[in-house]
Structure 1
């Protein structure tokens, strides 16, 4: 592979539960896919725009190979910003 090429991985972003109640409309197990540059939502799933706003800046980095010391390699749980 040339130095100016990289692999873009597809992602599955899924809601997981914690011990705190969720105040947004999503439920545990809700998900969407990131395929290339596209967000693909199942027909029965919706996501809060506030949750998406917290996730969107991180998704392109998670689609690429990460350095072994990159914090994003071990951190994959992002909290919803809705207080």
Structure 2
């Protein structure tokens, strides 16, 4: 049987304080985890849906192996989308997890295609 495993980074997304006041209900130290396709909010943590909308598009790329020169590897601090809010969100790779292609999709692996 063909090995169909692949590795993704697990992520921690944490609210970081700046010198500008946070006005969107963010609290320094609040965080959530990304493990595979799951977003895990620890008890008593919440995130604005607007802040999440600015972070979510970046998470799949941050989970994957990247070329050392790719800006996606170095840029890990995301500003709150509210221009009046001083919160920023730091995306940190915390460890890795193996996944199986066949457990994630019914589409077959096509070698040599896009």
Larger relative CO (CA 8 A, sep 6+): 1 or 2? Answer: 2
Does the CA-based 8 Å contact 1:6-1:64 persist in structure 2?
A: no
* Residues 70 and 5 of structure 1: CA distance in aligned 2, closer, same or farther (over 3 Å): farther
Could you tell me which residue of structure 2 aligns to residue 13 of structure 1?
Answer: 13
Instruction: Provide structure 1 residue ranges, at least 5 long, that are not aligned to the other structure.
Output: none
Q: CA RMSD in A?
A: 1.6
Between structures 1 and 2, the one with greater strand share: 2
- Over 3 Å off, 4+ runs: none
Q: Distance in 2 between matches of 1:36 and 1:75?
A: 21
TM-score if structure 1 supplies the norm length? Answer: 0.90
SS of 1:8's partner is strand
SS of 1:78's partner is strand
Are 1:43 and 2:43 counterparts? yes
TM-score if structure 2 supplies the norm length? Answer: 0.67
